[in-house]
Chain A
Amino acid sequence: MDAPAIETRDLTRRFGELVAVQDVNLSVASGQFFGFLGPNGAGKSTTIKMLTGLLSASSGRIQILGLDLAQNPVDVKRQIGVVPEGMALFGRLTGAEYLNFVGRMYGLDRETAGKRTAELLDFMQLADQPKTLVTDYSHGMQKKLAMAGAVIHGPRVLFLDEPFEGVDAIASGTLKAMLQRMIARGATIFLTSHVLEIVERLCSHLAIIHRGRLVAQGSLEELRAGVEAQAAAALASTSPGESAVSAPGEKLTLEEIFLRIVGGTRHTEQELSWLG
């Protein structure tokens, strides 16, 4: 059996007194499109930073494709692609120069880097502005370029932190097509996003982190079954007036599952004093 693409054991990160991530045990199989969810401040970005070598763990272990990240950082980084939160682009290069640079930094020879750059620019519909500097790109164009940079070396694992944030429907479609191609060729994608509809549509497996701890992990169906079983158990022990978790024949959406797991409620009835 293949080693998991991503595996963590008791992964913990402290910032002084604050425990941002505590004893996280993740396991992502190869070829999975994995969604990593959590409310704001839950520890998603801290986890993804640790998984990509941007931040060291306080304790615990990270294995990517069977390699220990702490012991083989360069070997691991060679096999992963990352779109970090701030995109980490170089504003005063053109798109082609940026991709060539990234390709070379990942060890591609110049011919391959050049060929892939041209293909990626074409695919991402960025080829019609070859002389425009990245700093002058729109936000959506920058996201597409960051994604192109993350895949130019053909990574086996791709980490994406909020890849669809601030991206319009057209750019979003291009990015999704790209990600599906990656999955089709056997890559593993680890994605964080607040857009739950997209996660529900794309991801086969999910994990939910809340207050630094992993509170759920599995396929969407497994998470749904878990929430429904919990709700049924709660229903059996409460008064007959309580309603069921969902109407008969209706499936819980990811948003509903997420809200039930993290214990969040929508403050629809609470009033703000000055809004009346």
Chain B
Amino acid sequence: MAGLSSPPLMRGQLAAIARVRFQLFVNGLRTIRGRLEVVARGMMFLMFGVAGLGGSFGLGAAAWYFVSHGNVEWIAVLLWPVFLFWQLFPVMASAFSENVDSSNLLRFPLSFPSYFIIRLVYGSLDPSTIIGCLWLAGLTIGIGIAQPGLFLWAALVVLVFAVFNVLLARMIFAWIERWLAQRRTREILGAVFFIFIICFQFTGPLMSRYGERRHPDASRVTAQALPYERALPPGLAAAAIARAVKGAFAPALGAFALESVYALAILWLLNVRLRAQYTGENLSEAAARKISVKEESARRLSWNISGVSAPVAAMLEKEVHYLSRSGPMLFTFVMPVVILLIFRLGPAGTPGRQSNFLSHTPDLAFPVGAAYALLILTNLVYNCFGADAVGMQFYYVCPVRFRGILLGKNLTHALLLACEVVMVWVAVCFMFHPPSVDVTVATVTGVAFALLLNLTAGNLLSIYTPKKIDYGAFGKQRASTTTVFASLGIQFAVFGLAAVTLLIARAFGRIWLAAVIFLVLAGLSQSLTPWC
């Protein structure tokens, strides 16, 4: 074919993708929403920048200290957190990372090397890689300042460690993408992810609870674990540097070689995964679907809720169906109880040991749990049309006023919060002790005020800055950055008002006074509510 070079130039394709990303960014600035999004992302970038540079300085100082005090092997203690952050943060905050949709790229005549490089380069432009690189750069500089002769060797070892991390993160995401390609595996992955997150939350409390106890087997277990730690990339990188300092160049080279082998092995695994994508694997949902028999469930009647109009009841039913089919959402809803459990499992406040504040003031357990329940609803309340996606168009063609639709949504969220608050109250009764009537009433009225204010602001932001989300998909429940910042500001205001109210009530020695103030504030919030 005339004019078509064979194979197409990789450089041209990479440039075309870079250009289209830039054009998408520029075109995004045409709308006010797009501009706000850029400002919000700029703030996010600043926050990550501060984290990256601060961490870089801290790691550099620590590395300098270890090397100049003859404890070079302790560098492993610095490399392990970098490794864990690099690999876990993108998974935990997957909303931040934009995965390249391979099906879009595969339409084009890309060679496999082009495809591989595009996936690697564009996939790696995420906060964890940038922060990880900054941290490792700081660490290397710290080593170089402590022992200038070691700088080049340390830089090489750390560079391979960074490459290993980049490749491993991409490989993990390539596999996650494989599982996300099908709805069922996506939902299973979402459930596994949240179980992991919940388990991860218990690490700190359990460590602080049991970590300080002298266990006879602890030292033996640590000693047994050390060889394995040294056989893994962070340990190997630290060993390669430490042995070079001690003049043991052959073992240093051996550790470095083994570290490189890890990187190559991950590269090979990533290559296998991406080649499968490149050659066109069949991930269609239809292949997994089984034709089921006609069932009576098709004739199931919709909900009948007395005192509620049919459209509002229908909205409520639809929302409940959506939420009940979302693994990530269901796990999110149990988080307030998990948080209370984390506090409960924390140090019990025995003399001479640090303890968590709920151990001292169990009366605060119910308000804290209820406030957390409110916080986890934020994403839902502030982007309430996000999960409807194209279905939102239906709301404009059906003969229901928008007020009714919002009422249905708000009713769902209010019911959800009510269930959460009851669940938290029961959990507090079991884990701490039943909250006093004063505290219960003040908390419930405070939640009512906060809910009304959040629903009002949430309704407006849901309409003005909606973002399509997928309840079932892992990491796709985040609202737009503008909404996130706006909701954060509103939460600060709500919690500030609540704190002032509680302080006033405390000053007068009457907790019930807080309930009265909250009721007044709730009344004021309701007067602002557009759906009333």
Contacts and interface: CB of A to CB of B under 8 A. Distances in A.
Given A114-B301, A136-B285, A136-B289, A93 B311 contact: no
B426 to A, nearest CB: 30
Interface stretch (B100-108, B258-266, B395-403, B480-488): B395-403
A253 interface: no
Given A104-B310, A105-B400, A110 B302 contact: yes
User: Which one of B318, B396, B397, B472 has the highest number of Cβ atoms from chain A below 10 Å of its Cβ?
Assistant: B397
A100 B315 CA distance: 11
| Interface SS of chain B | helix
B299 interface: yes
A130 B294 contact: yes
A132 B285 CA distance: 11
A107 B310 contact: yes
Contacts of A108: 310
Contacts of B401: 74
A78 B401 CA distance: 11
Contacts of B299: 96, 114-115, 117-118
B532 interface: no
A91 interface: yes
B468 to A, nearest CB: 11
Interface string A234-276: 0000000000000000000000000000000000000000101
Contacts of B388: 90
Interface string A59-91: 000000000000000111110101010111111
B161 interface: no
Interface stretch (A121-129, A162-170, A186-194): A121-129
B393 interface: yes
Contact of B390 (A88, A92, A104, A131): A88
B300 A128 contact: no
Contacts of B302: 100-101, 103-104, 110, 113-114
A102 B400 CA distance: 11
User: Which one of A84, A87, A110, A131 has the highest number of Cβ atoms from chain B below 10 Å of its Cβ?
Assistant: A110
B495 to A, nearest CB: 33
Contacts of A96: 297-300
A136 B183 contact: yes
A105 B402 CA distance: 12
A95 B321 CA distance: 12
B307 interface: no
Interface in B298-327: 298-304, 310-311, 313-315, 317-318, 321-322, 325-326
B399 A77 contact: yes
Interface residues of A, number: 53
B471 A138 contact: no
Interface string B449-493: 000000000000000000000011000000000000000000000
A218 interface: no
B389 interface: yes
Contact of B311 (A53, A82, A91, A104): A104
Given A88-B392, A114-B301, A274-B2, A77 B291 contact: no
A111 interface: yes
Contacts of B322: 90, 92-93
Contact of B396 (A54, A95, A130): A54
B286 interface: yes
B509 interface: no
Nearest to A54: B396
B12 interface: no
A150 to B, nearest CB: 9
A133 interface: yes
B213 to A, nearest CB: 48
A101 B317 contact: yes
A109 interface: yes
Given A89-B390, A105-B314, A128 B321 contact: no
A29 to B, nearest CB: 23
Given A88-B392, A104-B310, A131 B295 contact: yes
B393 A54 contact: yes
A109 to B, nearest CB: 7
B508 interface: no
A131 B391 contact: no
Contact of B321 (A74, A76, A92, A130): A92
A78 B314 CA distance: 16
A106 interface: yes
Nearest to B4: A274
Contacts of B291: 128-129
Interface string B272-292: 000000000000011001011
B387 interface: yes
A52 interface: yes
Nearest to A114: B301
Interface in B138-188: 183
A91 B391 contact: yes
Contacts of A23: none
Given A96-B300, A101-B314, 19 more contacts: A54-B396, A74-B399, A77-B397, A84-B397, A88-B397, A90-B388, A92-B325, A96-B299, A105-B315, A106-B399, A107-B311, A110-B301, A118-B298, A121-B298, A129-B291, A129-B292, A131-B297, A136-B285, A274-B2
Interface of A: 52-54, 74-78, 80, 82, 84, 86-93, 95-97, 100-111, 113-115, 117-118, 121, 127-133, 135-136, 138, 149, 274, 276
20 contacts: A52-B397, A54-B393, A74-B400, A74-B401, A86-B393, A88-B390, A92-B387, A96-B299, A100-B300, A100-B314, A102-B398, A108-B310, A110-B301, A114-B300, A128-B294, A129-B289, A129-B292, A136-B183, A136-B285, A274-B2
